[in-house]
Chains A and B, each alone.
Chain A
């Protein structure tokens, strides 16, 4: 009867291994990696998984074996009277120490590449990311490459980056702690009020999509909804002409709106026109939400400027 407990312990070990083997097929595994450094993290994970997996199998096997083998004996029977085996103690202590030292050693470089300031890319800061309850305020320096000038472009919860270029971001917080977590870029860094922390990464060639920004540090009741997006733009413009036309048309309509509004002092009519234009601006809003990933980053920046002008016009 006692031996049956061995089955329970064996089942637990088998379940652990089986669900790890099954998980990737269900997507219970690493999200897609689109950064150039992410493979270093993933590789290290697999190395540790191999080493710990081996230790796991070995220790659980011994555990199940002893439970099977040494239970259910007769009551009077005695156990082995042994206190220790010195060489064995030394052996497992030193082997474990050596393995741990090796694991410690192999990861130093990956960490340095991702976090040591001395290894940051030698580029201008791409954007300031200011975290706050419960949004990401993102500022680009605009075409002059300088922050705090008139052509700065500001956006909410949207980080636009060009593919393949090293991106350097200055991370700040204006209230409590937040954490800038990009699961697909293998980036996580707390944002701390009173500190400016540089974060850098590069997107793999051929990436052209949007990815989520997650707040990973508890920042209040709205922590769960502090979501942002990273938009990866291609290097080359694909269809700039069509977009220019669309923006020009929009701008024309907006000019028309301004003229309309000025001409009609009648309150009722004015409201009517406003409603019509809100519809138009709603279209513009959607446009901003899905900001044409086919554009290069520079073209996106131009468009953002124009949109900003348009919104200013509305006011």
Chain B
């Protein structure tokens, strides 16, 4: 079956050569490009820019928690000149809301799905491009209205959204509830809707491309785990996004069209009667719809990271991935279970507590596939010949920190313990171990690893290692103590927690965290510097600088338009045959035909 498909694809490959109209103008080639690699790189640079913006916003939050109501140096007079350089509680709420919103919707999701998804998938499965190149181009350009909405919201009356990245109504949906619940909130909702449209276009493209455009010999179980994880993520996104989009539209309607989906009857907020009352809406309905998407979104942000990590680890451990199929099943298991655990965000929300028990049980079991993945990564390293490149260091760090993020999840899944730690810094610690300790380390690993393929040059290794050392150190120092804050009950999102006697003594620990967070932020400048100087000054890279097996390393660096020259590659084995006894070298590319070599010799 797979064989006949493969040969059909071989024939097709010769017909659809597109050598003509190769010479595109600058605009078509680099701006409104339909080439999956250019689109991937566009996503990469856009998201890295927002990574800096999101990072700047959190400095205000950390400053306020360490030195409340004192003048913030440098940024204080610049941004809050009217308040004498002091952060107002209104700005504080806005800052953490937009920090999380930007990091999630403008950085982690689009960098994994948009940048890596676009760049890697066709190269790893031996396709010339995505199935729908124009749709792909639109998926990038639909990010722009989203970005404009987010950026513009800072300048409208009342400022940007300030109801948390979860936007719980009625705070978010009633105009009189907060300054940020004005135009800023409408722009937030519109922006996230555009991100959703962009993601959905990408998802459909990835699914179609992977199902229909694999090169000859590339069976599903010969795909590298990066592609597998992006494939499953795309399916996850395709099913979860419509629910979010519906919820966003409903909240926009509540705000603009007088409906009351999420607004209870006769609601008066801040002495103003909310519109849409009398229709008998339910604030908790939003939470169900939002988390039905946003729990899977956590996996949208971690599964591709896990895939990237597996590829980097196998390459630099010079060993086959331990338990390739269990890894694929674990990814699928996480994705499947991911749809029935959303209620664990709502244990204290007023949702029926019986339902809480059900969600607790499903959530406990979603820890299982994650644990299996960790065990398999350790198995991959065991008995390897590890080369510590900057990419590999970040990948190993992913395992180290993901263990912490995974284990802390069990505390929150336990309904009784969650009573105490819900909405405290324990949650903040957990999400940062998963999203920074997890996703961001894998993103760094992926960038160091594929940079030569993207630009034909290496990133500077010593700088990369310095960046890794400082990032790993400061990330642990900044995020780990947050668990302790959480155990002490220290709530998140408070502009001044210290007027509670219960939390007064936590000021010192918060100052320590802030200092480490600032250092962590500054460290990222090394990374940005490295990315930029390596574009012109980096050591030139050949086709396969890491002696890797997977297909993308058989294309030129950087790969030309169409990726493969006159004929598509043919695949003979899985992507992880490192240190195979069949050959002298410790790598065996997927395309190398040992039978043909034997026959000719």
Interface residues of A (CB under 8 A from B): 2, 5, 8-9, 12-13, 15-16, 19-20, 23, 26-31, 40-41, 44-45, 48-49, 51-52, 55-56, 59-60, 62-63, 66-67, 70-71, 73, 76-85, 88-89, 92-93, 96-97, 100-101, 103-104, 107-108, 110-112, 114-117, 133, 174-177, 179, 181, 183-184, 186-190, 192-195, 197, 211-212, 214, 216-225, 227
B:311-341 near A, CB below 8 Å: 317-326
Residue B178, interface by CB 8 Å: yes
Interface residues of B (CB under 8 A from A): 88-90, 92-93, 162-164, 168, 170-171, 174, 177-179, 264-265, 267-270, 282-284, 317-326, 348-350, 353-354, 356-357, 360-361, 364-365, 367-368, 371-372, 374-376, 378-379, 381-388, 393, 396-397, 399-401, 403-404, 407-408, 410-411, 414-417, 419-420, 422-424, 469, 472-473, 476-477, 480-481, 483-485, 487-489, 491, 493-497, 499-502, 505-506, 509, 576, 578-581, 586
**Known contacts A186-B420, A192-B350; can you find 9 more A-B pairs with CB under 8 A?**
A28-B509, A31-B489, A48-B417, A77-B385, A81-B320, A93-B372, A111-B353, A175-B269, A187-B419
Closest to B321 in A: A83
Q: List 25 A-B contacts (CB under 8 A).
A: A12-B476, A16-B480, A31-B488, A40-B416, A55-B371, A56-B404, A63-B378, A66-B381, A70-B317, A71-B386, A71-B388, A79-B318, A81-B319, A81-B578, A83-B323, A93-B368, A111-B416, A176-B177, A181-B423, A183-B420, A193-B264, A216-B423, A217-B423, A218-B168, A220-B171
Nearest CB in chain B: distance from A111 CB, A: 4
**How many angstroms from the CA of A6 to the CA of B191 in the assembled complex?**
44
Query: Hey, which chain B residues are within 8 Å of A183, CB to CB?
Result: 420, 489, 502
Nearest CB in chain A: distance from B184 CB, A: 13
Query: Hey, which chain A residues are within 8 Å of B477, CB to CB?
Result: 15
**Is the Cβ of A107 less than 8 Å from the Cβ of B360?**
yes
Query: Hey, which chain B residues are within 8 Å of A19, CB to CB?
Result: 480-481, 484
**Is the Cβ of B322 less than 8 Å from the Cβ of A227?**
no
Tell whether A84 pairs with B322 under 8 Å between CB atoms, given A114-B419, A192-B349, A216-B422: yes
**Which of B90, B386, B480 interacts with A221 by CB under 8 Å?**
B90
Query: Hey, which chain B residues are within 8 Å of A28, CB to CB?
Result: 481, 484-485, 487-488, 506, 509
**Which of B170, B372, B374, B487 interacts with A30 by CB under 8 Å?**
B487
**Is the Cβ of B264 less than 8 Å from the Cβ of A189?**
no
**Is the Cβ of B383 less than 8 Å from the Cβ of A70?**
yes
**Is the Cβ of B378 less than 8 Å from the Cβ of A111?**
no
**Which of B349, B407, B499 interacts with A55 by CB under 8 Å?**
B407
Tell whether A78 pairs with B499 under 8 Å between CB atoms, given A188-B423, A214-B491: no
Tell whether A84 pairs with B350 under 8 Å between CB atoms, given A63-B381, A100-B365: no
**Is the Cβ of B384 less than 8 Å from the Cβ of A80?**
yes
Closest to B318 in A: A79
Closest to A64 in B: B400
Nearest CB in chain B: distance from A123 CB, A: 19
Query: Hey, which chain B residues are within 8 Å of A110, CB to CB?
Result: 416
Query: Hey, which chain B residues are within 8 Å of A96, CB to CB?
Result: 367-368, 371-372
Query: Hey, which chain A residues are within 8 Å of B505, CB to CB?
Result: 26-27
**Is the Cβ of A177 less than 8 Å from the Cβ of B579?**
no
**How many angstroms from the CA of A30 to the CA of B320 in the assembled complex?**
45
Closest to B168 in A: A177
**How many angstroms from the CA of A178 to the CA of B302 in the assembled complex?**
31
**How many angstroms from the CA of A274 to the CA of B401 in the assembled complex?**
65
Q: Name which of A101, A112, A197, A214 has the most chain B CB atoms within 10 A of its CB.
A: A214
**Is the Cβ of A84 less than 8 Å from the Cβ of B365?**
no
Nearest CB in chain B: distance from A196 CB, A: 10
Query: Hey, which chain B residues are within 8 Å of A70, CB to CB?
Result: 317, 381-386
**How many angstroms from the CA of A12 to the CA of B399 in the assembled complex?**
12
**How many angstroms from the CA of A59 to the CA of B283 in the assembled complex?**
42
**Count of CB-CB pairs between chains A and B under 8 Å:** 323
Tell whether A111 pairs with B89 under 8 Å between CB atoms, given A78-B318, A100-B364, A175-B269: no
Tell whether A23 pairs with B500 under 8 Å between CB atoms, given A79-B586, A176-B269, A177-B168: no
Query: Hey, which chain A residues are within 8 Å of B388, CB to CB?
Result: 2, 5, 71
**Is the Cβ of B283 less than 8 Å from the Cβ of A193?**
yes
**Is the Cβ of A227 less than 8 Å from the Cβ of B500?**
yes
**How many angstroms from the CA of A119 to the CA of B494 in the assembled complex?**
33
Q: Name which of B282, B489, B581 has the most chain A CB atoms within 10 A of its CB.
A: B489
Closest to A33 in B: B420
Nearest CB in chain B: distance from A15 CB, A: 6
**How many angstroms from the CA of A62 to the CA of B481 in the assembled complex?**
24
**Is the Cβ of B495 less than 8 Å from the Cβ of A223?**
yes
**How many angstroms from the CA of A112 to the CA of B416 in the assembled complex?**
9
Q: Name which of B164, B178, B581 has the most chain A CB atoms within 10 A of its CB.
A: B178
Closest to A3 in B: B388
Nearest CB in chain B: distance from A38 CB, A: 8
**How many angstroms from the CA of A197 to the CA of B408 in the assembled complex?**
29
**Is the Cβ of B423 less than 8 Å from the Cβ of A179?**
yes
Query: Hey, which chain A residues are within 8 Å of B576, CB to CB?
Result: 83
**How many angstroms from the CA of A31 to the CA of B485 in the assembled complex?**
11
**How many angstroms from the CA of A177 to the CA of B285 in the assembled complex?**
13
Query: Hey, which chain A residues are within 8 Å of B483, CB to CB?
Result: 20
Query: Hey, which chain A residues are within 8 Å of B267, CB to CB?
Result: 175, 193-194
**Which of B170, B379, B493 interacts with A193 by CB under 8 Å?**
B170
**Which of A13, A175, A189 interacts with B400 by CB under 8 Å?**
A13
**How many angstroms from the CA of A63 to the CA of B404 in the assembled complex?**
13
**How many angstroms from the CA of A165 to the CA of B397 in the assembled complex?**
51
**Is the Cβ of B493 less than 8 Å from the Cβ of A223?**
yes
Q: Name which of A85, A186, A192 has the most chain B CB atoms within 10 A of its CB.
A: A192
**Is the Cβ of A111 less than 8 Å from the Cβ of B488?**
no
**Which of A5, A71, A83, A97 interacts with B320 by CB under 8 Å?**
A83
Query: Hey, which chain B residues are within 8 Å of A133, CB to CB?
Result: 177, 269-270
Tell whether A79 pairs with B378 under 8 Å between CB atoms, given A103-B364, A175-B267, A212-B500: no
Closest to B491 in A: A216
Query: Hey, which chain A residues are within 8 Å of B349, CB to CB?
Result: 190, 192
Tell whether A100 pairs with B368 under 8 Å between CB atoms, given A193-B170, A227-B499: yes
**How many angstroms from the CA of A66 to the CA of B395 in the assembled complex?**
14
**How many angstroms from the CA of A8 to the CA of B321 in the assembled complex?**
24
Query: Hey, which chain B residues are within 8 Å of A78, CB to CB?
Result: 318, 385, 579, 586
Query: Hey, which chain A residues are within 8 Å of B365, CB to CB?
Result: 97, 100-101, 104
Nearest CB in chain A: distance from B400 CB, A: 5
**How many angstroms from the CA of A205 to the CA of B302 in the assembled complex?**
47
Nearest CB in chain A: distance from B142 CB, A: 29
**How many angstroms from the CA of A45 to the CA of B419 in the assembled complex?**
11
Nearest CB in chain B: distance from A104 CB, A: 4
**How many angstroms from the CA of A45 to the CA of B418 in the assembled complex?**
9
Nearest CB in chain A: distance from B60 CB, A: 14
**Is the Cβ of A190 less than 8 Å from the Cβ of B348?**
yes
**Is the Cβ of A23 less than 8 Å from the Cβ of B487?**
yes
Query: Hey, which chain B residues are within 8 Å of A41, CB to CB?
Result: 416-417, 419-420
Nearest CB in chain A: distance from B164 CB, A: 5
Closest to B469 in A: A8
Tell whether A101 pairs with B488 under 8 Å between CB atoms, given A56-B403, A89-B326, A195-B350: no
**Is the Cβ of A212 less than 8 Å from the Cβ of B417?**
no
**Is the Cβ of B171 less than 8 Å from the Cβ of A89?**
no
Query: Hey, which chain B residues are within 8 Å of A217, CB to CB?
Result: 168, 423
Nearest CB in chain A: distance from B497 CB, A: 7
**Is the Cβ of A107 less than 8 Å from the Cβ of B268?**
no
**How many angstroms from the CA of A276 to the CA of B424 in the assembled complex?**
46
**Which of B88, B323, B481 interacts with A89 by CB under 8 Å?**
B323
Query: Hey, which chain B residues are within 8 Å of A12, CB to CB?
Result: 400-401, 472, 476
Nearest CB in chain A: distance from B373 CB, A: 11
